[in-house]
Amino acid sequence: MDKNTKINEMEISDEFMKADSKETVNVIAQKLRTLQLEGDCGAVLITKDNDEVIGFITSQEILDSVAHGKDPLTLRATELMNTDFVEVLEDETLGQIMPIISERYPNAIVVIDSNRRCVGYFSKNDYRDAMAVLGVYNKKEKPKTPDDWRTKGIALSSLGKRLEALKCYEKSLLEDTNNEKAWTNLAKRLERINRHKDAIMCLDKAIAINSDDDEALVERGQIYTKENTQNLALKSYLRALEINPNNVDALMFMGMEQANLGEIEEAMKSLDKAVAIKGHTPELWFRKGNVLNKAKKFEDALECYNQAIDMDEEYEEAWYSKSMALSTMGNNKEALGCLEKILEINPNNEIAREAITSYQENRKFNF
Protein backbone atom coordinates (compact mmCIF):
# COMPACT_ATOMS: atom_id res chain seq x y z
CA MET A 1 0.00 0.00 0.00
CA ASP A 2 1.33 3.45 -0.94
CA LYS A 3 0.11 6.91 -1.91
CA ASN A 4 -0.75 5.66 -5.41
CA THR A 5 -3.06 2.94 -4.08
CA LYS A 6 -6.62 3.53 -5.25
CA ILE A 7 -9.49 3.33 -2.78
CA ASN A 8 -11.12 0.52 -4.77
CA GLU A 9 -7.89 -1.49 -4.50
CA MET A 10 -8.12 -1.50 -0.72
CA GLU A 11 -10.04 -3.97 1.37
CA ILE A 12 -13.12 -2.00 2.39
CA SER A 13 -13.73 -4.24 5.36
CA ASP A 14 -16.60 -2.56 7.17
CA GLU A 15 -20.04 -3.82 6.21
CA PHE A 16 -22.97 -1.45 5.82
CA MET A 17 -26.67 -1.34 5.07
CA LYS A 18 -28.78 1.57 3.89
CA ALA A 19 -31.93 3.10 5.36
CA ASP A 20 -34.18 5.96 4.35
CA SER A 21 -33.94 9.17 6.37
CA LYS A 22 -37.56 8.75 7.46
CA GLU A 23 -36.98 5.37 9.10
CA THR A 24 -37.41 4.93 12.83
CA VAL A 25 -34.49 3.98 15.02
CA ASN A 26 -36.24 0.69 15.74
CA VAL A 27 -35.73 -0.29 12.09
CA ILE A 28 -32.15 0.96 12.19
CA ALA A 29 -31.44 -1.15 15.28
CA GLN A 30 -32.78 -4.24 13.51
CA LYS A 31 -30.41 -3.61 10.60
CA LEU A 32 -27.46 -3.16 12.98
CA ARG A 33 -28.43 -6.39 14.68
CA THR A 34 -28.36 -8.18 11.31
CA LEU A 35 -24.87 -6.84 10.64
CA GLN A 36 -23.68 -8.02 14.06
CA LEU A 37 -25.11 -11.51 13.48
CA GLU A 38 -23.09 -11.63 10.26
CA GLY A 39 -19.96 -10.96 12.30
CA ASP A 40 -19.42 -7.26 11.66
CA CYS A 41 -20.34 -4.19 13.70
CA GLY A 42 -20.79 -2.08 10.57
CA ALA A 43 -23.02 0.93 10.07
CA VAL A 44 -26.37 1.88 8.62
CA LEU A 45 -25.97 4.67 6.07
CA ILE A 46 -28.87 7.13 6.04
CA THR A 47 -29.93 8.23 2.55
CA LYS A 48 -32.26 10.74 0.95
CA ASP A 49 -34.69 9.99 -1.87
CA ASN A 50 -31.95 10.12 -4.52
CA ASP A 51 -29.86 7.58 -2.59
CA GLU A 52 -27.46 10.30 -1.43
CA VAL A 53 -25.82 9.49 1.90
CA ILE A 54 -26.52 12.19 4.49
CA GLY A 55 -25.27 10.46 7.64
CA PHE A 56 -24.65 7.14 9.35
CA ILE A 57 -25.66 5.32 12.53
CA THR A 58 -23.70 2.71 14.44
CA SER A 59 -24.39 1.10 17.81
CA GLN A 60 -22.40 3.95 19.37
CA GLU A 61 -24.94 6.59 18.31
CA ILE A 62 -27.77 4.60 19.92
CA LEU A 63 -25.77 4.13 23.15
CA ASP A 64 -24.90 7.84 23.24
CA SER A 65 -28.56 8.82 22.93
CA VAL A 66 -29.46 6.60 25.89
CA ALA A 67 -26.56 8.03 27.91
CA HIS A 68 -27.99 11.51 27.30
CA GLY A 69 -31.40 10.50 28.62
CA LYS A 70 -33.14 10.11 25.28
CA ASP A 71 -35.37 7.24 24.19
CA PRO A 72 -33.90 6.17 20.83
CA LEU A 73 -37.09 4.34 19.87
CA THR A 74 -38.93 7.66 19.69
CA LEU A 75 -36.37 9.23 17.35
CA ARG A 76 -36.12 9.35 13.59
CA ALA A 77 -32.91 8.42 11.83
CA THR A 78 -32.14 12.05 11.04
CA GLU A 79 -32.31 12.96 14.74
CA LEU A 80 -29.75 10.33 15.70
CA MET A 81 -27.38 10.07 12.75
CA ASN A 82 -23.74 11.10 12.79
CA THR A 83 -22.95 13.55 9.98
CA ASP A 84 -19.19 13.71 10.49
CA PHE A 85 -18.13 11.85 7.36
CA VAL A 86 -16.29 12.53 4.10
CA GLU A 87 -17.18 11.20 0.66
CA VAL A 88 -14.36 9.99 -1.61
CA LEU A 89 -14.48 8.57 -5.13
CA GLU A 90 -13.52 4.92 -5.46
CA ASP A 91 -10.91 5.68 -8.13
CA GLU A 92 -9.14 8.35 -6.06
CA THR A 93 -5.75 7.48 -4.60
CA LEU A 94 -4.69 7.62 -0.96
CA GLY A 95 -2.35 10.45 -1.90
CA GLN A 96 -5.29 12.47 -3.25
CA ILE A 97 -7.48 12.08 -0.18
CA MET A 98 -4.75 12.36 2.47
CA PRO A 99 -4.81 16.19 2.71
CA ILE A 100 -8.54 16.43 3.44
CA ILE A 101 -8.49 13.45 5.81
CA SER A 102 -5.48 14.83 7.71
CA GLU A 103 -7.27 18.16 8.08
CA ARG A 104 -10.61 16.82 9.31
CA TYR A 105 -10.17 13.27 10.62
CA PRO A 106 -13.89 12.50 10.17
CA ASN A 107 -15.69 9.70 12.00
CA ALA A 108 -16.18 7.78 8.76
CA ILE A 109 -15.43 7.74 5.03
CA VAL A 110 -18.14 6.91 2.52
CA VAL A 111 -16.84 5.61 -0.81
CA ILE A 112 -18.91 6.51 -3.89
CA ASP A 113 -18.66 5.71 -7.61
CA SER A 114 -18.87 8.15 -10.51
CA ASN A 115 -22.68 8.08 -10.28
CA ARG A 116 -22.49 9.04 -6.57
CA ARG A 117 -23.71 5.57 -5.62
CA CYS A 118 -22.32 4.36 -2.30
CA VAL A 119 -20.02 1.37 -2.79
CA GLY A 120 -18.14 1.24 0.51
CA TYR A 121 -17.71 2.49 4.04
CA PHE A 122 -14.64 2.93 6.25
CA SER A 123 -14.99 3.36 9.99
CA LYS A 124 -12.59 5.77 11.70
CA ASN A 125 -10.39 2.98 13.06
CA ASP A 126 -10.31 1.30 9.65
CA TYR A 127 -9.16 4.30 7.63
CA ARG A 128 -6.84 5.60 10.37
CA ASP A 129 -4.82 2.38 10.18
CA ALA A 130 -4.58 2.71 6.40
CA MET A 131 -3.35 6.30 6.72
CA ALA A 132 -0.97 5.41 9.55
CA VAL A 133 0.77 2.87 7.32
CA LEU A 134 1.80 5.91 5.24
CA GLY A 135 3.09 7.73 8.32
CA VAL A 136 0.03 9.99 8.66
CA TYR A 137 -1.79 10.47 11.95
CA ASN A 138 -3.65 13.21 13.81
CA LYS A 139 -0.90 15.34 15.30
CA LYS A 140 -3.31 17.98 16.59
CA GLU A 141 -4.75 15.83 19.37
CA LYS A 142 -3.03 13.81 22.05
CA PRO A 143 -4.02 10.12 21.86
CA LYS A 144 -6.78 9.31 24.34
CA THR A 145 -7.90 5.77 23.59
CA PRO A 146 -6.03 2.48 22.99
CA ASP A 147 -6.91 2.75 19.29
CA ASP A 148 -5.44 6.28 19.17
CA TRP A 149 -2.15 5.04 20.62
CA ARG A 150 -2.05 2.02 18.29
CA THR A 151 -2.62 4.23 15.24
CA LYS A 152 0.13 6.63 16.31
CA GLY A 153 2.44 3.65 16.84
CA ILE A 154 1.81 2.40 13.30
CA ALA A 155 2.50 5.87 11.89
CA LEU A 156 5.72 6.34 13.87
CA SER A 157 6.94 2.91 12.84
CA SER A 158 6.24 3.82 9.20
CA LEU A 159 8.49 6.83 9.72
CA GLY A 160 11.27 4.59 11.06
CA LYS A 161 10.75 5.58 14.71
CA ARG A 162 10.37 2.05 16.08
CA LEU A 163 11.28 2.72 19.73
CA GLU A 164 8.73 5.54 19.89
CA ALA A 165 6.25 3.24 18.16
CA LEU A 166 6.79 0.53 20.78
CA LYS A 167 6.05 3.06 23.56
CA CYS A 168 2.77 3.91 21.82
CA TYR A 169 1.89 0.21 21.56
CA GLU A 170 2.58 -0.16 25.29
CA LYS A 171 0.20 2.70 26.03
CA SER A 172 -2.43 1.13 23.78
CA LEU A 173 -2.51 -1.85 26.14
CA LEU A 174 -3.22 0.28 29.21
CA GLU A 175 -3.12 -1.95 32.29
CA ASP A 176 -2.35 -5.05 30.18
CA THR A 177 1.30 -4.21 29.50
CA ASN A 178 2.45 -7.36 31.33
CA ASN A 179 -0.14 -9.63 29.74
CA GLU A 180 1.45 -11.70 26.98
CA LYS A 181 -1.95 -12.44 25.41
CA ALA A 182 -2.60 -8.72 25.01
CA TRP A 183 0.70 -8.36 23.16
CA THR A 184 -0.11 -11.39 21.00
CA ASN A 185 -3.54 -10.00 20.10
CA LEU A 186 -1.98 -6.65 19.22
CA ALA A 187 0.56 -8.47 17.04
CA LYS A 188 -2.27 -10.22 15.17
CA ARG A 189 -3.95 -6.89 14.47
CA LEU A 190 -0.70 -5.44 13.16
CA GLU A 191 0.00 -8.52 11.06
CA ARG A 192 -3.41 -8.19 9.39
CA ILE A 193 -2.36 -4.80 8.00
CA ASN A 194 1.06 -6.15 6.98
CA ARG A 195 3.00 -4.43 9.77
CA HIS A 196 5.20 -7.51 10.07
CA LYS A 197 8.19 -5.99 11.86
CA ASP A 198 5.91 -4.30 14.39
CA ALA A 199 4.03 -7.56 14.92
CA ILE A 200 7.30 -9.41 15.57
CA MET A 201 8.31 -6.67 18.02
CA CYS A 202 5.06 -7.20 19.95
CA LEU A 203 5.45 -10.98 19.91
CA ASP A 204 8.99 -10.59 21.24
CA LYS A 205 7.44 -8.67 24.17
CA ALA A 206 4.91 -11.47 24.72
CA ILE A 207 7.64 -14.11 24.71
CA ALA A 208 9.82 -12.00 27.05
CA ILE A 209 6.91 -11.95 29.52
CA ASN A 210 6.24 -15.68 29.17
CA SER A 211 9.03 -17.65 27.53
CA ASP A 212 6.77 -20.75 27.45
CA ASP A 213 4.09 -19.13 25.27
CA ASP A 214 4.16 -21.65 22.40
CA GLU A 215 1.26 -19.93 20.60
CA ALA A 216 3.19 -16.66 20.39
CA LEU A 217 6.22 -18.55 19.08
CA VAL A 218 4.13 -20.15 16.33
CA GLU A 219 2.60 -16.79 15.46
CA ARG A 220 6.08 -15.26 15.23
CA GLY A 221 7.27 -18.14 13.06
CA GLN A 222 4.49 -17.52 10.56
CA ILE A 223 5.40 -13.85 10.28
CA TYR A 224 9.08 -14.70 9.86
CA THR A 225 8.00 -16.90 6.94
CA LYS A 226 6.22 -13.95 5.34
CA GLU A 227 9.40 -11.95 5.81
CA ASN A 228 11.37 -14.73 4.05
CA THR A 229 13.53 -15.40 7.10
CA GLN A 230 13.14 -19.18 7.09
CA ASN A 231 15.85 -19.95 9.65
CA LEU A 232 14.25 -17.67 12.24
CA ALA A 233 10.86 -19.20 11.47
CA LEU A 234 12.21 -22.71 12.04
CA LYS A 235 13.80 -21.66 15.34
CA SER A 236 10.44 -20.32 16.54
CA TYR A 237 8.63 -23.54 15.59
CA LEU A 238 11.30 -25.74 17.18
CA ARG A 239 11.15 -23.73 20.41
CA ALA A 240 7.34 -24.00 20.42
CA LEU A 241 7.64 -27.80 20.06
CA GLU A 242 10.15 -27.98 22.91
CA ILE A 243 7.46 -26.40 25.09
CA ASN A 244 4.52 -28.31 23.62
CA PRO A 245 5.41 -31.34 21.45
CA ASN A 246 1.70 -31.69 20.54
CA ASN A 247 1.36 -28.23 19.00
CA VAL A 248 -0.14 -29.23 15.65
CA ASP A 249 0.23 -25.75 14.12
CA ALA A 250 3.93 -25.71 14.96
CA LEU A 251 4.40 -29.10 13.29
CA MET A 252 2.36 -28.13 10.26
CA PHE A 253 4.02 -24.78 9.63
CA MET A 254 7.47 -26.21 10.36
CA GLY A 255 6.77 -28.87 7.75
CA MET A 256 5.93 -26.22 5.17
CA GLU A 257 9.09 -24.28 6.03
CA GLN A 258 11.19 -27.43 5.70
CA ALA A 259 9.65 -28.02 2.28
CA ASN A 260 10.50 -24.45 1.26
CA LEU A 261 14.11 -25.23 2.16
CA GLY A 262 14.02 -28.41 0.06
CA GLU A 263 13.91 -30.76 3.07
CA ILE A 264 11.01 -32.82 1.70
CA GLU A 265 11.53 -35.93 3.82
CA GLU A 266 11.73 -33.91 7.03
CA ALA A 267 8.66 -31.93 5.98
CA MET A 268 6.60 -35.10 5.52
CA LYS A 269 7.75 -36.38 8.93
CA SER A 270 6.54 -33.16 10.57
CA LEU A 271 3.16 -33.37 8.84
CA ASP A 272 2.81 -37.06 9.71
CA LYS A 273 3.40 -36.18 13.38
CA ALA A 274 0.65 -33.55 13.13
CA VAL A 275 -1.71 -36.17 11.64
CA ALA A 276 -0.81 -38.64 14.42
CA ILE A 277 -1.94 -36.04 16.97
CA LYS A 278 -4.98 -34.55 15.27
CA GLY A 279 -5.95 -37.05 12.59
CA HIS A 280 -6.40 -36.15 8.94
CA THR A 281 -8.02 -32.78 8.37
CA PRO A 282 -8.65 -30.93 5.09
CA GLU A 283 -5.81 -28.52 5.87
CA LEU A 284 -3.30 -31.26 6.65
CA TRP A 285 -4.18 -33.10 3.43
CA PHE A 286 -3.76 -29.79 1.60
CA ARG A 287 -0.39 -29.10 3.21
CA LYS A 288 0.82 -32.60 2.37
CA GLY A 289 -0.23 -32.03 -1.22
CA ASN A 290 1.79 -28.82 -1.36
CA VAL A 291 4.90 -30.59 -0.05
CA LEU A 292 4.53 -33.38 -2.61
CA ASN A 293 3.94 -30.78 -5.31
CA LYS A 294 7.28 -29.16 -4.42
CA ALA A 295 8.87 -32.61 -4.69
CA LYS A 296 7.31 -32.89 -8.19
CA LYS A 297 5.29 -35.92 -7.10
CA PHE A 298 2.22 -34.59 -8.84
CA GLU A 299 0.11 -37.78 -8.79
CA ASP A 300 0.59 -38.11 -5.04
CA ALA A 301 -0.10 -34.39 -4.59
CA LEU A 302 -3.36 -34.74 -6.55
CA GLU A 303 -4.44 -37.56 -4.27
CA CYS A 304 -3.88 -35.33 -1.23
CA TYR A 305 -5.82 -32.44 -2.78
CA ASN A 306 -8.67 -34.83 -3.63
CA GLN A 307 -8.73 -36.04 -0.03
CA ALA A 308 -8.91 -32.44 1.20
CA ILE A 309 -11.75 -31.66 -1.22
CA ASP A 310 -13.63 -34.84 -0.27
CA MET A 311 -13.63 -33.59 3.33
CA ASP A 312 -14.43 -29.99 2.37
CA GLU A 313 -15.67 -29.54 -1.19
CA GLU A 314 -15.61 -25.73 -0.83
CA TYR A 315 -11.88 -25.64 -0.03
CA GLU A 316 -10.85 -23.02 -2.60
CA GLU A 317 -7.10 -23.28 -1.99
CA ALA A 318 -7.20 -27.06 -2.52
CA TRP A 319 -9.09 -26.65 -5.81
CA TYR A 320 -6.55 -24.03 -6.92
CA SER A 321 -3.50 -26.15 -6.03
CA LYS A 322 -5.15 -29.11 -7.75
CA SER A 323 -5.57 -27.03 -10.92
CA MET A 324 -1.87 -26.06 -10.77
CA ALA A 325 -0.80 -29.69 -10.45
CA LEU A 326 -3.08 -30.76 -13.30
CA SER A 327 -1.76 -27.98 -15.53
CA THR A 328 1.84 -29.01 -14.81
CA MET A 329 0.90 -32.55 -15.87
CA GLY A 330 -0.60 -31.21 -19.10
CA ASN A 331 -4.25 -31.75 -18.12
CA ASN A 332 -5.36 -28.20 -18.92
CA LYS A 333 -9.01 -29.09 -19.44
CA GLU A 334 -9.28 -30.57 -15.94
CA ALA A 335 -7.27 -27.68 -14.52
CA LEU A 336 -9.73 -25.25 -16.09
CA GLY A 337 -12.60 -27.20 -14.53
CA CYS A 338 -11.04 -26.77 -11.07
CA LEU A 339 -10.79 -23.01 -11.55
CA GLU A 340 -14.39 -22.83 -12.73
CA LYS A 341 -15.39 -24.77 -9.62
CA ILE A 342 -13.67 -22.13 -7.48
CA LEU A 343 -15.80 -19.40 -9.09
CA GLU A 344 -18.93 -21.46 -8.38
CA ILE A 345 -17.91 -21.51 -4.73
CA ASN A 346 -16.77 -17.89 -4.63
CA PRO A 347 -17.55 -15.64 -7.64
CA ASN A 348 -15.24 -12.98 -6.12
CA ASN A 349 -12.08 -15.11 -6.30
CA GLU A 350 -10.02 -12.86 -8.58
CA ILE A 351 -6.97 -15.14 -8.64
CA ALA A 352 -9.00 -17.96 -10.20
CA ARG A 353 -10.69 -15.55 -12.58
CA GLU A 354 -7.35 -14.13 -13.76
CA ALA A 355 -5.99 -17.66 -14.34
CA ILE A 356 -9.03 -18.53 -16.46
CA THR A 357 -8.71 -15.29 -18.46
CA SER A 358 -5.01 -15.98 -19.04
CA TYR A 359 -5.80 -19.44 -20.36
CA GLN A 360 -8.58 -18.19 -22.62
CA GLU A 361 -6.32 -15.50 -24.10
CA ASN A 362 -2.97 -17.29 -24.24
CA ARG A 363 -3.87 -20.99 -23.94
CA LYS A 364 -1.74 -21.15 -20.83
CA PHE A 365 -2.25 -20.45 -17.14
CA ASN A 366 -0.52 -17.64 -15.24
CA PHE A 367 0.15 -19.69 -12.10
Q: How far apart are CA 151 and CA 333, in angstroms?
A: 49
- Specify the pLDDT at position 272: 95
CATH of the domain at 351: 1.25.40.10
Question: Which of 211, 246, 262 finishes a domain?
Answer: 211
Q: Is residue 19 part of a domain?
A: yes
- Residues 31, 119, single domain; the answer is yes
Better-predicted residue by pLDDT, 14 or 355: 355
Host H or E run for residue 208: helix 196-209
- Residues 19, 57, single domain; the answer is yes
What whole-number percentage of the chain has pLDDT above 90?
Answer: 41
Q: Is residue 252 part of a domain?
A: yes
- Residues 87, 194, single domain; the answer is no
Better-predicted residue by pLDDT, 119 or 262: 262
CATH of the domain at 28: 3.10.580.10
Number of domains in the chain: 4
Q: Are 133 and 154 in contact (CB under 8 A)?
A: yes
Q: Is residue 161 part of a domain?
A: yes
- Residues 16, 118, single domain; the answer is yes
pLDDT digits (tens, 9 = 90+) for 5-55: 777 776 655 578 888 888 888 888 888 888 776 555 678 999 887 678 999
Q: Is residue 86 part of a domain?
A: yes
- Residues 268, 312, single domain; the answer is no
For residue 172, the number of C-alpha atoms closer than 13 Å in the C-beta half-sphere is: 22
Q: Is residue 314 part of a domain?
A: yes
pLDDT digits (tens, 9 = 90+) for 112-145: 888 888 888 887 767 766 666 666 666 767 888 8
pLDDT at position 298 over 90: yes
Q: pTM for the complete prediction?
A: 0.59
Q: How far apart are CA 367 and CA 355, in angstroms?
A: 7
Q: How confident is the model at residue 360 (pLDDT cuts 50, 70, 90)?
A: confident
- Specify the pLDDT at position 2: 61
- Residues 351, 265, single domain; the answer is no
- Specify the pLDDT at position 188: 84
pLDDT at position 341 over 90: yes
Task: Tell me the average pLDDT across 194-221.
Answer: 92
- Residues 120, 12, single domain; the answer is yes
Question: Which of 158, 190, 211 finishes a domain?
Answer: 211
- Residues 57, 78, single domain; the answer is yes
Better-predicted residue by pLDDT, 105 or 213: 213
Q: Is residue 312 part of a domain?
A: yes
Q: How confident is the model at residue 303 (pLDDT cuts 50, 70, 90)?
A: very high
Q: Is residue 130 part of a domain?
A: no
- Specify the pLDDT at position 176: 63
- Residues 12, 117, single domain; the answer is yes
DSSP state string for 135-159: T----SS---SHHHHHHHHHHHHHT
- Residues 261, 309, single domain; the answer is no
Find the domain containing 200 and state its range: 137-211
- Residues 160, 178, single domain; the answer is yes
- Specify the pLDDT at position 132: 67
Q: Are 73 and 88 in contact (CB under 8 A)?
A: no
Q: How far apart are CA 243 and CA 84, in angstroms?
A: 50
- Residues 169, 105, single domain; the answer is no
Better-predicted residue by pLDDT, 233 or 92: 233
139's CB contacts (< 8 A; 6+ apart) are: none
pLDDT digits (tens, 9 = 90+) for 89-99: 888 887 777 77
Question: Helix, strand, or coil here: 24?
Answer: strand
